[in-house]
Structure 1
Amino acid sequence: MAMLSPLPPRDGVGATRLHVPLHGEWPTISAYMVERFHHLESGELLARFDRGEIIARDGSAVPLDAPLGAQEFVWYYREPPVETDIPFDIDVLHEDRDLVVIDKPHFLPSTPGGKYLQSSALVRLRRLLGNDELTPIHRLDRATAGLLMFSARPSTRGAYQLLLQNRRVEKVYEAVSARPADLPAFPLVHRNHIVKERGHVCVRVDAAREPNSETLIELLSTDEQVVHTLLRPHTGKMHQLRVHLAALGMGILHDGFYPDLLPEAPDDFERPLQLLARELRFIDPLSGAEREFRTRRTLAFAP
């Protein structure tokens, strides 16, 4: 069971939980946090203790002189970063008491993280619908557009999460790639072993190991410059579709990760990653009804 936060969401953003070691060289919890967050100004961090903004599991404020070991977890609200506005709106395609489905635009992260808090699909949707219990059932990369599902209340969340865990949701994507010199014969199934290593933003392929990822790739259309494909992933490894197309010599247009990791650069809203979560199908675990959702978005560079 997930550990409940003693702090409610604020402006649609949940409080951050920090694990504090029970033993170590730090005399107090505040001393540990000063070292843990060495990139922050220590005076302001300590002032947050004085203001009662560092909270224990029971909802009480953690004193500045609380010794290490007094609390294993503390909660606090992140100071909001200066965010770059993502000038695209989410579209709510479906809403009932248990499930919400949206059409996420390119560039918008699914959940808060890093330099994005208010500019995330979760926070925007919580504020739009006035429901702080909304939680994503799955994720889309920030660069990917299309269908994203949210649980609307905790009591039925697990039933929908099990659908994903048991691979009972059919997902269909579209992509537009640079056309290779030799176009493969479609349809085709691509498999390989994808490894995600700590500290690396890209995954890698281990050719010596048995495949752990599989995608059915079908041709929709092509011209002299690009290939428009339909992708049906059987597994859901990180960056799987981007990796599989790159391995076939068909890297997705405007992908800064595959086949080559490019230097970080500001978002170019005129050149979104040409990957779209197009369809979702499943049997609803609560009603038994067939559910089918389809994006209203299109890929701008499709032939």
Structure 2
Amino acid sequence: MPDQPKFPGRPGDWVLYKDNQLIAFNKPAGMPAVPDKKGSPNLLQVAAAYTRHDLFPIHRLDRPVSGVILFGKKPAAQAQVTEQFQARTIEKTYLAIVGERPEQDEDILVHFLREAKGNNAEIVDSSDKTAKRAELRYRYLGSSDRYHLLEVVLVTGRKHQIRAQLGAIGSPIRGDEKYGFKRGNPDRTIDLHAYTLAFDHPISGSRVELQAPLPEEPVWEAFSSLLTSRS
């Protein structure tokens, strides 16, 4: 059997928020959010063992992506927050490290995506009846010696949306060979991080704002001071 990937810290170290309704984790890159065809250890399984409680997925992150992910502890909490995702009242920001700086420092991207072979998404013409409209906003935050940091806000939530859309404008995410980056990261992760998540608590109604610390990797550490100075 191939060696299982090693993730930093323990599940308790990944907890960002918890109460009797919800629990949020900072998912390590490379770990599936939920069970997949490969049967790899996944965050839902690990988190349920940690909490000794059944958990209910609300949203997902791609396996190679890191960052904040939220589970319900009760089906009612899962359903209520899922409705917020569908109503687009959830605020979610991502950070993406790219090799090529976009021509525009800020822009709104609109493409049409459809599922393709190999668990990919592809951009097609708007006339394709199988395609779904994908929209995001991005903003350039700064550069290191070799790479550039973008803040991305999703307007829609399509499969591989950020990856495909940034690839389409010539700014693929570092490590994301599927969407045009020249080489993969050794651990098959990509440098896309779900940075913040804000939602209304299903019981109190108060706004909850979560922020996931950056991965402890040199390429991310090069941008940590930049983010600290902007906060």
The aligned runs of 1:122-141 (5 Å cut-off) are 122-131=44-53, 133-141=54-62
Which string of whole-angstrom CA distances, capped at 9 and with x for unpartnered residues, describes residues 194-228 of structure 1?
1114x542111113439711111101112452111
Deviation at 1:114, TM superposition (A): 1.7
- The TM-score, its normalising length taken from structure 1, stands at 0.65
> Could you tell me which residue of structure 1 aligns to residue 162 of structure 2?
241
Looking at secondary structure, tell me which structure has more helix per residue: 2
Q: Secondary structure at the match of 1:124?
A: helix
> Could you tell me which residue of structure 2 aligns to residue 103 of structure 1?
26
Between structure 1 and structure 2, the one with the greater Rg is 1
> Could you tell me which residue of structure 2 aligns to residue 203 of structure 1?
121
Report how many aligned residue pairs link the two structures.
213
Q: Distance in 2 between matches of 1:129 and 1:282?
A: 22
Q: Distance in 1 between matches of 2:5 and 2:123?
A: 32
Matched, 1:185 2:96: no
Structure 1 pair 154–261 and aligned structure 2 pair: CA distance change class (3 A): farther
Q: Distance in 1 between matches of 2:182 and 2:174?
A: 13
The aligned runs of 1:136-175 (5 Å cut-off) are 136-175=57-96
Structure 1 pair 156–179 and aligned structure 2 pair: CA distance change class (3 A): closer
Structure 1 runs of 4+ aligned residues shifted over 3 Å read: 208-211
Structure 2: give runs of 5+ residues left out of the alignment: 223-231
Contact 1:83-1:115 at 8 Å conserved across structures: no
Structure 1 pair 95–208 and aligned structure 2 pair: CA distance change class (3 A): closer
- The TM-score, its normalising length taken from structure 2, stands at 0.84
Deviation at 1:300, TM superposition (A): 3.7
Q: Secondary structure at the match of 1:158?
A: helix
Matched, 1:256 2:147: no
The aligned runs of 1:223-234 (5 Å cut-off) are 223=144, 225-234=146-155
Matched, 1:290 2:213: no
Matched, 1:115 2:38: yes
Greater relative contact order structure (CA < 8 Å, 6+ sep): 2
Matched, 1:275 2:192: yes
Which string of whole-angstrom CA distances, capped at 9 and with x for unpartnered residues, describes residues 72-121 of structure 1?
xxxxxxxxxx574231144111111110000000100001122234x100
Q: Secondary structure at the match of 2:173?
A: coil
Which string of whole-angstrom CA distances, capped at 9 and with x for unpartnered residues, describes residues 120-165 of structure 1?
001101111101x201100000000000000101233211111111
Contact 1:159-1:286 at 8 Å conserved across structures: no
Q: Distance in 2 between matches of 1:158 and 1:128?
A: 22
Structure 1 pair 185–256 and aligned structure 2 pair: CA distance change class (3 A): closer
> Could you tell me which residue of structure 2 aligns to residue 43 of structure 1?
none
Deviation at 1:261, TM superposition (A): 10
